[in-house]
Amino acid sequence: MNTTTFVLLIGLLISSSVGLLFWAVTGFLRDVPESDRQFHDPLPLGLRLIWPLVNAVTFVIAPRLSPDKLEKAHHDLQTAGQDFVLTPEQLYGLRVVAMVLVIGFLWLILTMLHKQTLPLYGGALLFGGLLGWLYPSLWLTERRNQRRRLIIKDLPIYLDFITMAVEAGLNMTGGIEQATLKGPKGPLSQEFTRLLRDMRSGLSRAEALQRLADRVDMPQISTFTGTLIQADRVGASLGSSLRAQAEQRREERFLRAEKLALEAPVKMMLPLVMFFFPLIFLFLAYFIYLRMQQEGIL
């Protein structure tokens, strides 16, 4: 067998292997059921691009996930406000897909740089796998922090609306409904809408308020719901307590803004020392060098 025939045979085997792999993958993807997103929020652009892969991986690993892991993932999605975007099973599918994509990207970079050594590929495997697994958690953490900032910002306004509605003669449900209609749109408006929907579906007010506190998982909301639940039990007046809470939340918001303003110079110090000051010193040193050359010192 000459060299040309051997090369053709190797190319034919490789092409056949790739074709069989492609046929197997497409056949598997055809067997994966489509996810029903009729009652879900729209996917972000990045998730939309890789969603077929996430759906396929979820179909494979979902039966192997324990209830404890699913419960923790559901709590993470709820506190980040993404429980209508992803299910807990899909969150784990996203983590696996992210691992594969990050590892493949790092291996591609090593191949392009002609750094094809086993230690580098092993390091890329470990680092890429860890980064890909943690990235969805980092994304949820960023969403959760942004959501909590908006809730802290809007909570005093909603408490004022609810207080005025209760003092005007409405009950608590009517006050929350008026606050939802008149208040600013955002995460807090969505949570109060879900609260009203829970009560209309048959849950008691105490159960719906407790579910609200569990979803948001913030001390400010827990204090608010605890006050309403206690008032329902003892039949106390809500106007004065809600007004006091509104003043307290507003004062906390101002204190938080003052704290962030005082922290700004400290946070600016590191970029100044690392980037700004060295450029100034280099700029001044250049003119000092030119002056010393003119004076004949150098």
Which pLDDT score, from 0 to 100, does residue 7 have?
63
Which pLDDT score, from 0 to 100, does residue 21 have?
59
pLDDT one-digit tens code per residue, 119-149: 888 888 899 999 999 999 999 999 999 999 8
Asked whether the predicted pLDDT for residue 257 surpasses 90, the reply is no
Average pLDDT, integer, range 85-107: 91
d(CA 38, CA 36): 6
* Alpha-helix runs per DSSP H in 83-117: 88-112
pLDDT one-digit tens code per residue, 141-186: 999 999 998 998 888 888 888 888 888 888 888 888 888 888 888 8
Q: Which of the two residues, 40 and 67, has the higher pLDDT score?
A: 67
Please check whether residue 129 is in contact with residue 107, taking contact to mean a CB–CB distance below 8 angstroms: no
d(CA 222, CA 151): 13
Which pLDDT score, from 0 to 100, does residue 40 have?
75
- The token pair at 140 is 């949820």
Asked whether the predicted pLDDT for residue 265 surpasses 90, the reply is no
CA-wise closest residue to 124 among 108, 139, 140: 108
User: Look-up: residue for tokens 């007010």?
Assistant: 205
